[in-house]
Amino acid sequence: MSTSKGDVEMTSDSSGIAQKRHRPLKRTPSTSVPPMPWFGIDIGGTLTKLVYFEPTDLDEYVESPDEQIREKTIHRYLTTNKAYGETGVRDVNLELSGVRINDRKGIIHFIRFPTDRMLNFVRLVKEKGFAQMSSTVCATGGGAEKYAKVAEEELGMYFHKSEEMRSLIKGIEFVAQNNLDECYYYDNPLSKDYKKVIWRWSSARCSTTDHIHEDKKCPPPEGLQYPYIVCNIGSGVSVVLVRSHNDFKRVSGSSIGGGFFQGLCFWLCGCETFEEAIELATKGDNKKVDKLVGDIYGTDYDAAGLPSDVIAASFGKVFNKEDAKNIKKEDLASAALVTTANNIGSIALNIANHHGIERIVFAGNFLRVNPIAARLLAHAMNFWSKGTKKALFLIHEGYFGAVGCLDKLVDVTNTRRMEKNSKSTTPSQASSSAGEDKEGSIEGGENVVIKDDEEMKTPRD
Amino acid sequence: MSTSKGDVEMTSDSSGIAQKRHRPLKRTPSTSVPPMPWFGIDIGGTLTKLVYFEPTDLDEYVESPDEQIREKTIHRYLTTNKAYGETGVRDVNLELSGVRINDRKGIIHFIRFPTDRMLNFVRLVKEKGFAQMSSTVCATGGGAEKYAKVAEEELGMYFHKSEEMRSLIKGIEFVAQNNLDECYYYDNPLSKDYKKVIWRWSSARCSTTDHIHEDKKCPPPEGLQYPYIVCNIGSGVSVVLVRSHNDFKRVSGSSIGGGFFQGLCFWLCGCETFEEAIELATKGDNKKVDKLVGDIYGTDYDAAGLPSDVIAASFGKVFNKEDAKNIKKEDLASAALVTTANNIGSIALNIANHHGIERIVFAGNFLRVNPIAARLLAHAMNFWSKGTKKALFLIHEGYFGAVGCLDKLVDVTNTRRMEKNSKSTTPSQASSSAGEDKEGSIEGGENVVIKDDEEMKTPRD
C-alpha cells in the first residue's frame, strides 16, 4: 500500500496537475485499482488510437513517489508535444476534461499514429523509458491481439484486452454522456446552405418516434435512446445494433471503408496519406467517372424510384483511353469517396430497415477531416428513408474504442479485489462484492462514484 | 389480311426454316398479331442484348410475301454471321429452340454489342435496309427510353417498351421453363474439386425447405418455387424480390457491379475490355492488395465470427510506393473482382435474410466468362448463411430482359385486338375478350396456346 507524502510535495508540483492544493483529507488509492497512468489503446487496421487519462484530483489522493514521477514524466512529454516520433499526432481540440473513470477525475488526451509504425512506437516507448512507467494499458482492436506478444516481450507491458465492439459502444456512450456537444447531424446536407446541428443525445430529438411524442405533447424520453445502430468506419466497416446498455451485436460489415478509399486513392492518384486523398477528392467531380441513371435512361428510372442523378455504376462511365482524356485524378478520388460513402450508407440503411431502427450513428476515422462523406451519408439516410431515419455523427470520430477499453480498468480492479477478498472471505461473498463494485464501471448512464475498499474511505493527511 | 401462297414457295426455301413441308392446313396469322420478325432488345448501361425470334412453324402459317422476304433477309444475315459490325457478337451456344411465343414456335437467337455503339448499330440497321423490315421491336433497359427517339426518327422503328424488372423476371421464368438445364449451382465452390451441378428448377432442390420436405418423406413441391430473390448484375446491381408470378419488386441495388469492375480495371490496369479484365483478374492474387482480418488481428476475430482469411479492407493493404513494388496489375484486377463479388454477395444475403428467403438467383452479364465471381458468390452465400442459402446461376446470364420484353408482343396483340373488336362489339365485351386472350402470354407456367381471332381457326390451303 502506498503512503501519503502530504501537501508539501504536491505544492512543489509545477506541472499544473494539482487543482486544490490545500485540501487536508487525502485518500490512498486501493491497491486493487491499477496504478496510474492509465492508457487506452485501440490498434486498428490502419490507425492506432491512444488515449491517456490525466488525473486532476491529485489533491484528493495520496500517491507513491514512483507513481508521481512517472505520471509527471509521461504527462509532460504527452501534453507539451502535439507530435510524437515521426507520425504520432495529438488531437488537442478533442481533449475531454472533467471526466470520471474508475473513481478518478481527470482529462482524456487523444493521440493517433499509423499502425504500421507500431514497432517504431514500441521503440519510442522503450527509448523514453516509459515502458516501466505505463503499467496499466487497456487495449482493443485487432492489433491488441497481434501486438500483445511484442509489447510484453519488448516492453514488459501487459495489455488488458477488451473486445472491439464492446469497447466501441462503451466509448460512445461514455463520451456522449460526458460531452453534451458530442453528437450532431446535418440539415440540408448537400445544399450550399447546409447546417451542422448539435444534437443532445439526452434530449432524444431526430427520430420519428420523437416526432410522435411531440405531436402528442408528451415530453420526449430522457437519456440514451435505445435501440440505435452504430456504423463504425475504420479500415473496414462494422455495423453494430445496440438494443440497450449491455445488449449489442455486430450485425453486418463491409470491406469497403476507409482502407478501400485510401487504397484506391493511392493506386489511382498516387496519394500516400488519407489527408491528401481527401483533399483531392474534395476538388473532383465523381459524375465524370460514374455512370448515372440519367446516363443510361436519359431521364429518371421512375418504376424503381431512381432519380436521374443517382449513380447506377460507380466508375462505370469510362472504359477506354479516348474517354479518359478529360478525367483528372481529382475526379477519380471523388468517385472513390462517393463509392465508399454510398455503399456504407446503403448497408447501414438496410440494417436499420431490417431492424426497424431510426437512429444511425456514424463513427470511425474515415469521417475525420471528411465532411463530404458525412454529408453524403446524411443525405443518403434522409433521401432513401424518406426522412424517417437520420444520420448522426460524433466529434471524437475514431477514438471510442480507445476510450471504451478503459472500462477494462474496472474489471481489472474487480478481479484484483476478488483475489484479495478471496483470501479473507468465502468465494461467494467475494463474488457478490465484486458484482456490486461493478457499478463504478464507465458503462453506467450516471457518473456513479465507485465503491472502493475500506482503506479508501479512511481520510489521511 | 394476308393470303396463303401455298406450299410451292415454302419448298423453294433454302434457309432451313420450314420444318414440315407438306402439311396441307395453313393458318393466316391474325392481323392483331404484330408482324414478323420479332426482336427483343435490352439496352443496358454497358451492353445491349438483342434477341431474335426465328419462327420454325412456317409450314403452319400463311405469310405475306413481304413478311417472307424480310424474315429471310434478316434471318440469313443474323444466322450466317457470328459477328455484326465491329462489336456485335452472337452467342451461338445459347440458341434456344422449340420455344413458343405468342402462339408461334421457333428459335431464339442471342446477340450482344456495347451500348456505346448504339448509334453505329442504328446506322448498320439503316444501311442493310433492315429498318422497314423489323417492324416489331420490343425494348427494355434504360436505353429503351434514351434511344426511343433516335430509333423512331432515324429508322422509323417504334419501340414497344417494357419495364426493366418486369422483363427480367418474365425472361428468367420463361427461359427456365423452356430450358431444363438452365439453372446450376456450385458444390465446394472454392475448392479445386468444385462441381457445377445442374439444378432443375421444377424439382425444387437446394433449399432448407426442401430438405425438410425430404426428411418428412413428402415429395418436394412442383414447378417454380416462390419466393426467390434475383440479383441481376449488369453495369449496376438490382435485387428483386419475387413472391409470385406477377408479384415482384426491386428491393435493393448497388452501384458496385460490372461497370465498377470494368472501370477499375481500366483505371488500374489499362484493360479496355471486360474479357481482358477478367483474364487479368484470374491470374492475380487479391490477398496482396486487400487487408485481411488476419493482417490486423494476427489470427481470427472470433467475437465477430470472422476467420483470419476474410477481407477486412478491400485495397486496404498498400498505401505507399515502397509496398507497391511487389504488386502486379493482375493482383489489382483480382482485388477489383473480389471486392465487387463480395459486396454483391453481402447485399443479396442481407436482403435474403431480411425477407427469410433461401433461393438467390444471380444473373446479368457480370457473370459472363466469369466463373470466379460466380464461385465467390456461391461460397459467400453458403458460408455466411451457414449452408441455409444457396446461390443459383443461369446459363443465359444477361439475356433475360431481352427475352422477357418479348412478352410485350402479347400486350400489343391484345391491344390491337381490343381496338378491332371495339368497332364490332360493345366496349365491355371487347375488354372481357382481351382479358381471356392474356392467357397466351409468355408469363404462364405452361406453354398455353394463344386463343386467336376467328380467322386463325380457319384452315387454308
3 state SS for A244-282? ECCEEEEEEEECCCHHHHHHHHHHHHCCCCHHHHHHHHH
Phi, psi of A6 (to 5 degrees): 75, -175
Query: pLDDT tier at B232 (50, 70, 90 boundaries)?
Result: very high
Distance CA B215, CA B212 (A): 5
pLDDT at A157 over 60: yes
What is the maximum alpha-carbon separation in chain A? 82
N- to C-terminal Cα separation, chain A: 15
If you average pLDDT over each of A13-17, B52-56, B130-134, which comes out highest?
B52-56
Which residues are CB-neighbours of B18 under 8 A, at least 6 positions away?
B10, B11, B58, B59
For residue B150, what is the enclosing H or E element? Answer: helix B148-155
Arithmetic mean of pLDDT, A24-33: 75
Express each pLDDT in A316-326 by its tens digit.
Answer: 999 999 999 99
CATH topology assigned to domain B38-172+402-420? Nucleotidyltransferase; domain 5 (3.30.420)
C-alpha cell at A277: 486523398
CA distances from A124 to A40, A84, A138, B83, B91 (A): 17, 9, 19, 66, 64
pLDDT at A171: 95
SS3 B213: helix
Distance from CA of B297 to the nearest CA of A (A): 4
Which residues in A lie closer than 8 A to residue B236 (C-beta atoms)?
291, 311-313, 316
CA distances from A287 to A317, B391, B397 (A): 9, 33, 29
For residue B240, what is the enclosing H or E element? Answer: strand B237-244
B87 or B15, greater pLDDT? B87
pLDDT at B271: 97
Q: How many CB atoms lie within 10 A of CB B81?
A: 13
Which residues in A lie closer than 8 A to residue B264 (C-beta atoms)?
264, 315
SS3 B247: strand
Q: What is the mean pLDDT of chain B?
A: 81
In chain A, what percentage of residues exceed pLDDT 70?
A: 80
**How many alpha carbons lie under 13 Å from residue B53 in its C-beta half-sphere?**
32
What single string gives the DSSP state of each residue in B416-452?
Answer: HHHHHHHHHS-HHHHHHHHHHHGGGSTTSSS-PPPP-
B386 dihedral zone (left: phi>0; alpha: psi -120 to 50; beta): left
pLDDT at A47 over 90: yes
Arithmetic mean of pLDDT, B165-184: 91
Arithmetic mean of pLDDT, B193-210: 63
Query: pLDDT tier at B224 (50, 70, 90 boundaries)?
Result: low
DSSP B303: G
pLDDT at B161 over 70: yes
CATH topology assigned to domain B182-206+222-289+327-395? Nucleotidyltransferase; domain 5 (3.30.420)
pLDDT at A133: 62
Q: Does residue B164 carry a catalytic annotation?
A: yes
Distance from CA of A165 to the nearest CA of B (A): 9
Distance CA A258, CA A237 (A): 8
For residue B176, what is the enclosing H or E element? Answer: helix B164-178
Least confident of B69-83, B127-141, B302-316, B438-452: B438-452
In chain B, what percentage of residues exceed pLDDT 70?
A: 80
pLDDT at B400: 98
pLDDT at A199 over 60: yes
pLDDT at B429 over 70: no
- Residue A152 contacts residue A345 (beta carbons within 8 Å): no
Query: pLDDT tier at B12 (50, 70, 90 boundaries)?
Result: very low
Distance CA B102, CA B116 (A): 32
If you average pLDDT over each of A417-426, B256-265, B305-314, which comes out highest?
B256-265
Distance from CA of A61 to the nearest CA of B (A): 38
B65 or A352, greater pLDDT? A352
Arithmetic mean of pLDDT, A2-7: 34
Are the beta carbons of A316 and B347 separated by less than 8 Å?
no
Query: pLDDT tier at B122 (50, 70, 90 boundaries)?
Result: confident
pLDDT at A13: 36
pLDDT at B379: 94
Distance CA A416, CA A410 (A): 10
State how beta strands B291-292 and B311-313 pair: antiparallel
Are the beta carbons of A315 and B142 separated by less than 8 Å?
no
Express each pLDDT in A81-115 by its tens digit.
Answer: 888 877 899 999 999 999 999 889 999 999 999 99
List, in sequence order, every residue forming a beta bridge with A394; answer none if it has no partner: A183
Note if the bond before B371 is cis, omega within 30 degrees: no
pLDDT at B327: 98
pLDDT at B305 over 50: yes
Distance CA A134, CA A160 (A): 12
pLDDT at A425: 57
Least confident of A222-231, A344-353, B335-344: A222-231
Please give the residue of chain A at the shortest CA–CA distance from B114: A319
pLDDT at A65: 80
Q: Which amino acid is at A323?
A: D
Least confident of A139-153, A198-212, A296-310, B48-62: A198-212
A289 or B199, greater pLDDT? A289
DSSP B187: E
Q: Which amino acid is at A164?
A: E
pLDDT at A120 over 60: yes
Of A143, A263, A317, the CB nearest to B315: A263
Comparing C-alpha atoms, which of B25, B32, B73, B26 is closest to residue B52?
A: B73
Are the beta carbons of A296 and B235 separated by less than 8 Å?
yes
Angle at B101 between CA B99 and CA B104, to 5 degrees: 85
Model pTM score: 0.84
Interface test with B, best of A315, A331, A339, A385 (most B CBs within 10 A): A315
Distance from CA of A236 to the nearest CA of B (A): 5
pLDDT at B214: 47
pLDDT at B132: 66
Q: What is the mean pLDDT of chain A?
A: 81
ipTM computed for the complex: 0.84
Compute the Cα dihedral for B123, B125, B128, B130 and give only its sign.
Answer: negative
For chain A, what are the domain ranges?
38-172+402-420, 182-206+222-289+327-395
**How many alpha carbons lie under 13 Å from residue A100 in its C-beta half-sphere?**
13
Comparing C-alpha atoms, which of B235, B169, B228, B85 is closest to residue B404?
A: B169
Distance CA A372, CA A364 (A): 15
pLDDT at B201: 64
Arithmetic mean of pLDDT, B228-243: 96
Please give the residue of chain A at the shortest CA–CA distance from B163: A303
Comparing C-alpha atoms, which of A459, A439, A458 is closest to residue A449?
A: A439
pLDDT at A11 over 70: no
pLDDT at B42: 96
Query: pLDDT tier at A246 (50, 70, 90 boundaries)?
Result: confident
Residue A276, burial from CB neighbour count under 10 angstroms (0-12, 13-18, 19+): middle
pLDDT at B181: 86
Of A44, A316, A354, the CB nearest to B259: A316
Query: pLDDT tier at B461 (50, 70, 90 boundaries)?
Result: very low
Residue indicated by cell numbers 466529434: A395
B200 or A401, greater pLDDT? A401
Arithmetic mean of pLDDT, B199-226: 51
B30 or B405, greater pLDDT? B405
Arithmetic mean of pLDDT, B202-211: 40
Of B263, B320, B351, the CB nearest to A318: B263
If you average pLDDT over each of A60-69, A152-161, B142-151, which comes out highest?
B142-151
Distance from CA of A419 to the nearest CA of B (A): 27
CA A14: distance to chain centroid?
Answer: 31
Are the beta carbons of A315 and B350 separated by less than 8 Å?
no
Residue indicated by cell numbers 453506467: A444
Comparing C-alpha atoms, which of B313, B247, B152 is closest to residue A259?
A: B313
Express each pLDDT in B337-376 by its tens digit.
Answer: 999 999 999 999 999 999 999 989 999 999 999 999 999 9
Distance CA A195, CA A36 (A): 42
Please give the residue of chain B at the shortest CA–CA distance from A324: B267
Least confident of A31-40, A265-274, B122-131, B293-302: B122-131
Are the beta carbons of B262 and A238 separated by less than 8 Å?
no
Of A260, A301, A313, the CB nearest to B314: A260
Query: pLDDT tier at A218 (50, 70, 90 boundaries)?
Result: low
pLDDT at A201: 64
Arithmetic mean of pLDDT, B95-100: 94
Are the beta carbons of B45 and A350 separated by less than 8 Å?
no
State how beta strands A38-43 and A136-140 pair: parallel
Q: What are the strands of the beta sheet with B183-187, ordered from one edge?
A: B195-198, B183-187, B390-394, B359-363, B228-233, B237-244, B247-254
Residue environment code for A195-214, b if the CB has 16+ CB neighbours within 10 A, otherwise e: eeeebebbebbbbeebeebe
pLDDT at A452 over 80: no
pLDDT at A414 over 70: yes
C-alpha cell at B269: 490496369
pLDDT at B84 over 90: no
pLDDT at B200: 76
In chain B, what percentage of residues exceed pLDDT 90?
A: 51
DSSP B305: T
State how beta strands B195-198 and B311-313 pair: unpaired
Q: Which amino acid is at B249?
A: K
